[in-house]
Structure 1
Amino acid sequence: MNTAEQLCVSLLSKCKTLKTVKQVHAFACKTGLDAHPLVSGKLLLHCAVTISGALEYARRLLLHFRNPDAFMYNTLIRGFAESDTPDNAFDVFVEMRRKLIDPLDSFSFAFILKAAANCRSLRDGMQLHCQALIHGLDTHLFVGTTIISMYAECGIVSFARKVFEEMSDPNVVAWNAILTACFRCGDVEGAERMFDRMPLRNLTSWNVLLAGYVKADELELAKKAFLRMPMKDDVSWSTMIVGYAQSGCFDEAFGFFRELQREGIRPNEASLTGVLSACAQAGAFEFGKILHGLVEKAGFLWMISVNNALLDTYSKSGNVDMAQLVFKRMPEKKSIISWTSMIAGLAMHGYGKEATQVFHNMEASGIRPDGITFISVLYACSHAGLIDEGCEYFSKMRYLYGIEPAIEHYGCMVDLYGRAGKLQKAYDFVSQLPMSPNAVVWRTLLGACSIHGNVELAEQVKEVLSKLEPENSSDHVLLSNIYAVAGKWNDVAAVRRSMADQRLKKTPGWSVIEVDKVIYSFTAGEKSNKIIEEAYEKLREIMLKIRVDGGYVPEVGSVLHDIEEEDKEDSVFRHSEKLAVAFGLARLGVGMNIRIVKNLRVCRDCHTVMKLISKVYRLEIVVRDRSRFHSFKDGSCSCKDYW
């Protein structure tokens, strides 16, 4: 290879964008190096595999070459197989079969089989399997392993197992492939048997086992396997952290992350985003701040995914100001996920105008919004009462961006009209949908009926829901509460009897609070323990104080009519968010901000109590309920009682 060729190859290796590749290509054409097999091959490889967004240019390059060889065809097949459009690999494969006289090699089959796997195309995969048999490549380890993976992706574990059993001497890669295949197809017991049979296991084998257990939601089995592992890497730790975070086991996720740090292992992108996800779900603001410091110290701030996770953590733990700060400090080229997360964060806090401004900034930056972005901006309009703006965005989504509304977008519009009290308009909107509205859409309308006390429409909606999801307890509870507020106690009793006959149980309300970086959980009606007793003792003191100093009167309109007034008050007294606030006051003291995460919509009585506590005790209480954030300060709420 002469100096000019070396220079060209060296320049290509440093190219990071298609623009710079084109410049090197122009240089190669000008100097006549584009005809050199090594230079042309490297150029094609760089466009097809190394840099993003250059596959079409790679396809045109292949057409430009006079006599492309098998390596060039394989390179383009590989590029398409690993892309978002793997089906294009078949066109290149067919063209290769037509033009090349030489027999196909193992790389050709491995790459095109991967395309079939990524397309989930069993028909194409089986045809390729037959072709591999004809060419005598089915016993080739590389090809055989890819065939196993292809059948796994297509959900046919029996075929994958048959291919594996016919291998004369499978190596550890093939064993790992069949192990992955069993887990991919949901055959946990089969995977365990394969793992026990393995003559040799490497670190990847153990990590496949961990990932398989986590995917199957077998966390205890994953934990046992993790403890048995002869050695662990960052993938092992991140698998456990992400697995427990996704299953809502926040304390365990935090525990694994702390243990990872004690072991002196540097966290990777997956472990950081996993533990930040746990923080976001649990509303663990203090632990999130510590992680933010770790991210800065470890030099991960250049990673868009980690920044997105930080933004989400701050948004969901009640500090939208910090979320905005992270957003502003992010690398200049923000992803669509970054913009959408910021819009969603502002929307959750009721900052509708600010959320729409971020949306406009996103458009101005050249980022094209997608369907999820529009869900976030419609949600923002809904929770801020911006009806005209919401209708405008809904129209813009269809006619400017060509995004056909999904059921989630229609649900947002129903919520927009419903929250604003335009119940008949919401009902008409649902009735005219171009698709069959699902239970979530009807339930959204039922929730609006509950907010505005429309009994007649609620009964119509509940009738529809009874056919769609007859065993959903929340629909019965909503209707019961609507009847109770309207004073229709006979109807309340009938709903309760219906629930009893169907053995439906109300979803228990729970709330969590972070105190000294530890997450404490409170559930309505749970058994007494030291933590519960401490919370109740403080709550009794608080309720007395807000009665005397704040003029609190319990709102018991939706509590059963046939129990004593004192028992009604005791019923709302036991709500989990009140216990969490009381525990926070007992442990954190007066003057400290309190942040709570709740799984259900906060009730009117608890909403009133939170406002009074914030006024009497002069503190800020942030509650994240099922649908949004409430920031209570000086006796008022950020939602302006619009929730």
Structure 2
Amino acid sequence: MSRLLLMVRISTVSLKKLRLYCSGHFIKHGSSNFHISKRKHDRHFTSAIQPPDTHIGHNLFDEMLKRENRTVDSSFMFFQDVLRSSMMRSQAENPRSIHCFALKSGFLQDLPASSKLLTLYGRTGDLASSLGLFGEIQVKDVIVWNSMITALNHNGRSLAAVGIFVEMIQKGTDFDSTTLLLAASALSSLNLSKKCRLVHCLAIEAGLVSDSSLCNALINLYAKGEDLSSAECVFAHMEHRDIVSWNTIVTKCLANGHPKKSLEYFKAMTGSGQDADNVTFSCVISACASLEELLLGESLHGLVVKSGYIPIVHVSVANSIISMYSKCGDSEAAETVFEELLCKDVVSWNAILNGFASNGMFQEAFGIFKEMQSVDRIQPDIATVVTVTSICGDVCLSREGRAIHGYTVRREMQSREVINSLIDMYGKCGLTMQAELLFKLTTDRDLVSWNSMISAFAQNGFTREAKNLFKEVVSEYSCSKFSLSTVLAVLPSCDSSDSLIFGKSVHCWQLKLGFGDNILSANSVINMYIGCMDLTSALLLLETISKTRDLTSWNSVIYGCATNGYHLESLRAFQAMSREGKVSHDMITLLGTISACGNLELVLHGRCFHGLAIRSLRESDTQLQNTLITMYSRCKDIDSAVRVFGLISDPNLCSWNCMISTFSQNKAGPEAIQLFRKLELEPNEITFVGLLSASIQLGSRGYGMQAHCHLIRRGFQENPFLCAALVDMYSSCGMLETSMKVFKNSGAKSVAAWNSVISAYGFHGMGDKAMEIFKEMSGSNTKMEPNKSTFISLLSTCSHSGFIDEGLRYYNQMEVRFGVKPVTEHLVCVVDMLGRAGKLREAYELIKGMGEPQKAGVWGALLSACNYHGDTKLGKEVAEILFEMEPDNASYYISLSNTYVRLGGWEEAVRLRKMVEDKALKKLPGYSLIDV
């Protein structure tokens, strides 16, 4: 009977007889030793990468004493056949039966048989028996050691495998390239890539660096430890490079963030005559995607087809091509490759889904997700869910995001990655409570979970909660485990001067953690300082990073200053950037500068930036055009704003709102109402704010009431800002009772609504009621903090109602009790209040006692009071100050002229009137409206 027939017979019949024959002997000789060995060796095990099962021998060990050829009797031949057959099977009982037979027959002295039995135990997962057998072998050669290390690696006991390797080296046992290969695999599994140098040194010392498989493993291990230079050094000194060698260096260059190097090695590979395979093509096409090199990617696509790796058949190559076209912005080509793919796997679906999402094709992305669920062989995985959840967060689709959440619960896909993406989605959609609930219910949190929750709090205005959570992270994790994302997540919560100290402490954390040289981190800190009104620190940091600062750094200052009230500094930063000449402006830069020009009412500068935008930007951006409309509106250039609006091909709701606001803010109420009638989109709260402002200008309660009905039908009546606008509208139209009903019936009352009520009572001469409302507002029940506008309304009310003592008391308590620092508007109200009461000298002394020059509005209020009371002496002194400050303001000349007229000083009055005529100055006429 031939050897093959004997193996078949053993595999089907003889193993059962052999097990029965040896069972008693096994109990006697095997059990106790194995369990003792397990207790000795089976400690601190971690996961492992499965190493190869084959052994690469070395000539040094070909003549070992225990492995020489000998005459083989029939029993030993039978034993070898049993071993060979069992190596092809996986039953756990087979190794024990064979072990018993070998013990009884005395075949364990044969090292090849012992090493095979070790391997067999390892394959079946019986490590206790494997370690026991290893301990009983007195004389071990390299193959026995390798077999034991292989068994441990195979069962995820990488730490124990490294321990056996170290023991082998310490005992001076000779090793071969397979030993080092197994050790490298174990170190890789334990993420101990930095220990790769020890294996490399042993290989050099033993002269084993000519082995290609070992060198490939060293390249992989060095690159995994982010030591790409050492990996390249090993590759450069390789004598024989195979396709695995080239693929390893190409893929590891890409994995370490060097796509250009990956392509360079591919070019060298083709130059050496080595043919590429599907792994090579997948990698280099991914490198093109990272570099967004569409032309090179298309060339490689052609080379793939020419080489026979047709994308419609080789799914891994096709997936890379889909991702490449998507990242390069050619969604149509990506979709074509996807549709032609015969056997799509889940990676294919995820690639096209990511492609649609990254190119803003959200409707198509949801369509692909829905189609993917209908395919029987394909089920969405964690990567799919994370991508779709991210889309929901970016586009604020809270309803769809909740549906995805329910889908993950039904499919039991509540992994850590999915939970983190859901927290992030809820935060971006403004659903902070849902994000917090999910965060608290999650027991398996990692640093990403904390970062997502901190970001959710910071983005939605819960600054205190974001800071407290950051403090918890500091106490939960050590500094070494902190990530840059943690710092970036908490910085947006520092958005006021009150947060400056906390922001500086976060900056210190950033420097302590070694992120000081990171340009993204530096730009975020610049934004933080500007938000905290510490412009000096922001500009100092910008200067500190002068060698590495990029366009984002400049935009952080230019746009940040523009949005935080430092408009002149924004324009100066643009000039500095232009003088430096290292970077060129983009749309964000122009958004900041145009906004600054609007706030400073520099219409000529704004037109220059408008021209720069036309010349430098390829396409007109709707957001930029909306900013231009706002800029022209603030510069009172309605015609230019109308022209810009007319040039918008597809105006969004923001465009319509900007134009309606332009009309309403520039006293063009009828045009605002006419434009609202032409609105083709569904209006929102901002639309109605502009509409109500136009109604106030027209003094038309009819238009205001119609707007009120519109917003009730759309469910906006609970909006606190609309409540404030309605109170102002009804009050201005003389309907004080209706104004108060709107205020009382509104649910959430904002500070603006309270301010509007105070102003309404003051406007109607009911100062006592206004003060009662202020007392109620500042009480403990409402939890409202009065702001600057509150005291403007209150002081104005006291001025018109003659409550001098109360007004002065409120003015003196502003900063001490309520923390509101007085500004020019407050001083104007106080001066007007004293002036109306005839206390002109007190008002004059108050202005002079401020210690710094005051704006024209303050002196103007005093001049009006002097005119009212006929104090020409003080009026002339005040007028002289105003003539120097604003020589082209006709109202000051006319006010002083009227004072002289009242007292019979016609000559002086005529002289002042002639000055107005000579300078061609005009005073804006006043007017009154009545709703008929």
Distance in 2, Cα, partners of 1:458 & 1:221: 40
| Aligned partner of 1:320 among 732, 736, 741 | 736
Per-residue deviation, 1:208: 4.6
Structure-2 separation of matches of 1:489 and 1:514 = 36
In the alignment, is the contact (CA less than 8 A) between 1:164 and 1:178 conserved in 2?
no
Q: CA deviation at 1:110?
A: 5.5
Q: Residues 430 and 145 of structure 1: is their aligned pair in 2 closer, same or farther, counting only changes over 3 Å?
A: closer
Separation in 2, partners of 1:20, 1:193: 45
1:183 and 2:594 correspond: yes
Contact 1:48 1:55 in 2 (8 A): yes
Residues 1:481 and 2:907 are matched in the alignment: no
Per the alignment, do residues 460 and 193 of structure 1 end up closer, same or farther by CA in structure 2, a change over 3 Å counting?
Answer: closer
Cα 1:51–1:369 change in 2 (3 A) is: closer
Contact 2:863–2:879 (8 Å) recurs in 1: yes
Q: Retained in 2: the 8 A contact 1:55–1:80?
A: no
Aligned partner of 1:271 in structure 2 is 687
Matches within 5 A, 1:442-453: 442-453=859-870
RMSD: 3.9
Structure 1 portions without partners, runs of 5+: 133-137, 139-143, 168-173, 516-587, 589-643
Q: Residue 311 of structure 1 aligns with which residue?
A: 727
Are the structure 2 counterparts of residues 413 and 505 from structure 1 closer, same or farther at C-alpha, using a change threshold of 3 Å? same
Structure 2 SS opposite 1:511: coil
Counterpart-to-counterpart distance in 1, 2:899 and 2:811: 30
Distance change in 2, residues 1:408/1:50 (3 Å): closer
1:64-88 Cα deviation digits (max 9, x unpaired)? 2312223222222344479985785
Aligned counterpart, 1:392: 809
Q: Which residue of the other structure, out of 598, 607, 618, is the alignment partner of 1:199?
A: 618
* Structure 1 segment 329-344 matched on structure 2, within 5 A: 329-332=745-748, 334-344=749-759
- Which position in structure 2 is the counterpart of 1:284? 700
Structure with larger RCO (C-alpha < 8 A, sep 6+) = 1
Alignment-derived partner of residue 69 in structure 1: 483
The 1:279–1:485 alpha-carbon spacing in structure 2 relative to 1, beyond 3 Å, is same
- Conserved in 2, the CA contact under 8 Å of 1:18 and 1:51? no
Question: Between Structure 1 and Structure 2, whose CA radius of gyration is higher?
Answer: 2
Give, in angstroms, the shift of residue 238 of structure 1: 0.9
Within 2, Cα distance between the matches of 1:266 and 1:388?
Answer: 50
Residue of structure 1 in register with 2:760 after alignment: 345
Q: Verify the 8 A CA contact 1:282 1:512 in the aligned structure 2.
A: no
**Does structure 1 retain, via aligned residues, the 8 Å contact 2:591–2:624?**
no
Inter-CA distance 130–211: structure 2 relative to 1 (3 Å threshold) = farther
CA 1:41–1:404: 2 relative to 1, 3 Å: closer
Deviations 1:593-616 (A, max 9, x none): xxxxxxxxxxxxxxxxxxxxxxxx
**Residue type matched to 1:446 in 2?**
L
Aligned to 1:472: 889
Kindly state the Cα deviation for residue 290 of structure 1 after the two structures are TM-superposed: 1.2
Aligned residue type for 2:769: E
- For residues 210-249 of structure 1, the aligned pairs below 5 Å read 210-215=629-634, 217-249=636-668
Q: Give the one of 449, 455, 465 matched to 1:39.
A: 449
Structure 1: distance between partners of 2:913 and 2:760 = 37
Give 3-state SS (helix, strand or coil) of 2:678's partner.
helix
Task: Identify which of 508, 511, 523 aligns with 2:927.
Answer: 511
Change (3 A) 1:304 1:499: same
Relative to structure 1, the CA distance from residue 103 to residue 205 in structure 2 (aligned partners, 3 Å threshold; closer, same or farther) is same
Residue 506 of structure 2: SS of its match in structure 1? helix
Match of 1:640 in 2: none
Matching of residue 52 in structure 1 with residue 454 in structure 2: no
SS at match of 2:927: strand
TM-superposed CA distance for 1:228, in Å, is 2.6
Question: 2:675 aligns to what?
Answer: 256
Query: For residues 177 and 430 of structure 1, what CA distance do their matches in structure 2 show?
Result: 42
Give the Cα separation in 2 of the matches to 1:492 and 1:38. Answer: 75
Contact 1:182 1:190 in 2 (8 A): yes
Change (3 A) 1:312 1:44: same
How many residue pairs are counted as aligned between the two chains? Answer: 490
After superposition, residues 141-180 of structure 1 pair within 5 angstroms as: 144=551, 147-148=554-555, 150-151=557-558, 153=561, 154-155=570-571, 156-158=573-575, 175-180=586-591
Q: State how far apart, in whole Å, the 2-side matches of 1:182 and 1:363 are.
A: 39
Moved more, 18-27 or 430-439: 18-27
How far apart in 1 are the matches of 2:881 and 2:814?
Answer: 29
For the 8 Å contact 2:754–2:777, the answer to whether it is kept is: yes
Contact 1:80 / 1:86 at 8 angstroms: preserved in 2?
yes
Give the residue type in structure 2 aligned to 1:228.
L
Using the TM superposition, give the Cα deviation of residue 294 of structure 1 relative to its aligned residue in structure 2, in angstroms.
0.8
Secondary structure, counterpart of 1:361 in structure 2: helix
Partners of 1:3 and 1:396 in 2: how far apart?
A: 55
Confirm or deny: 8 A CA contact 1:411 1:440 kept in the other structure: yes
TM-score in terms of structure 2 length: 0.47
CA distance 1:180–1:51, shift in 2 (3 Å): closer
Query: What is the CA deviation profile of residues 554-586 of structure 1, one whole-angstrom value per residue up to 9, with x for unaligned ones?
Result: xxxxxxxxxxxxxxxxxxxxxxxxxxxxxxxxx
Q: Flag the structure with higher strand content.
A: 1
Distance 1:60 1:221 in 2: 51
Cα separation, partners in 2 of 1:456 and 1:117, compared to 1, 3 Å: closer
| 1:436-489 deviations in Å (ceiling 9; x for gaps) | 454433332332233333444434444544454444332332233233233343
Partners of 2:629 and 2:893 lie apart in 1 by 40
CA gap of 1:400–1:95, structure 2 versus 1, over 3 A, is: closer
Cα distance change on mapping 1:351 and 1:202 into 2, 3 Å: same
**Superimposed CA distance per residue, residues 38-90 of structure 1 (whole angstroms, 9 cap, x where no aligned partner):** 43333333333345232321331331231222322222234447998578556
Deviation at 1:347, TM superposition (A): 1.3
Distance 1:233 1:287 in 2: 24
Q: How does 1:105-144 map to 2 (within 5 A)?
A: 108=521, 111-112=524-525, 114-115=527-528, 118=531, 121-128=538-545, 130-132=547-549, 138=550, 144=551
1:355–1:37 distance in 2 versus 1, CA, 3 Å: same
1:151–1:160 contact (8 Å) kept in structure 2: no
What residue in structure 1 maps to residue 335 of structure 2? none
The residue correspondences of 1:611-622 to structure 2 (distance < 5 A) are none
Separation (CA, whole Å) in 2 of partners of 1:266 and 1:421 = 53
- C-alpha distance in 2, partners of 1:81/1:424? 42
The answer to whether structure 1 residue 356 and structure 2 residue 768 are counterparts is no
Q: Among 777, 782, 792, which residue is 1:375 paired with?
A: 792
| Distance across 2 between alignment mates of 1:350 and 1:102 | 59
Q: Secondary structure at the match of 1:375?
A: helix
Query: Corresponding residue for 1:95?
Result: 509
